[in-house]
Amino acid sequence: MVIIFTTNGEKYACRIVGMPKDTLSIENRLVKFKNKKSRHKIISTFTNEGYEMKELNEILPNGFKYKILRCKTPPFQNDEAFKNIPIPENSYYLLGDNRDNAPDSRIFGTIQRDQLQGRVLSVYFGKNLTIINKSL
Using one digit for the tens of pLDDT, what is the confidence trace for 29-72?
778 887 788 888 999 998 877 878 888 888 888 888 888 888 87
User: pLDDT tier at 80 (50, 70, 90 boundaries)?
Assistant: low
Give the pLDDT mean for 114-131. 74
Q: How confident is the model at residue 1 (pLDDT cuts 50, 70, 90)?
A: confident
Which residue would you say has higher pLDDT here, 122 or 87? Answer: 87
> Does residue 133 register a pLDDT over 50?
no
Is pLDDT at 91 greater than 90 in this prediction?
yes
Give yes or no for residue 12 having a pLDDT over 80: yes
The per-residue pLDDT for 123 is 67
CA distance 40 to 84: 21
pLDDT (0 to 100) of residue 70: 84
Q: What percent of the chain has pLDDT over 70?
A: 84
The rounded radius of gyration (Å) of the Cα atoms in the chain is 15
**Cα separation of 39 and 88, whole Å?**
26
Cα separation of 75 and 81, whole Å? 13
Reported residue count of the chain is: 136
Assign 3-class secondary structure to the chain.
CEEEEEECCEEEEEEEEECCCCEEEEECCEEEECCEECEEEEEEEEEECCEEEEEEEEECCCCCEEEEEEECCCCCCCHHHHCCEECCCCEEEEECCECCCCCCHHHHCCEEHHHEEEECCEECCCCCHHHCCEEC
Which among 63, 56, 64 has a CA at the least distance from the CA of 29?
56
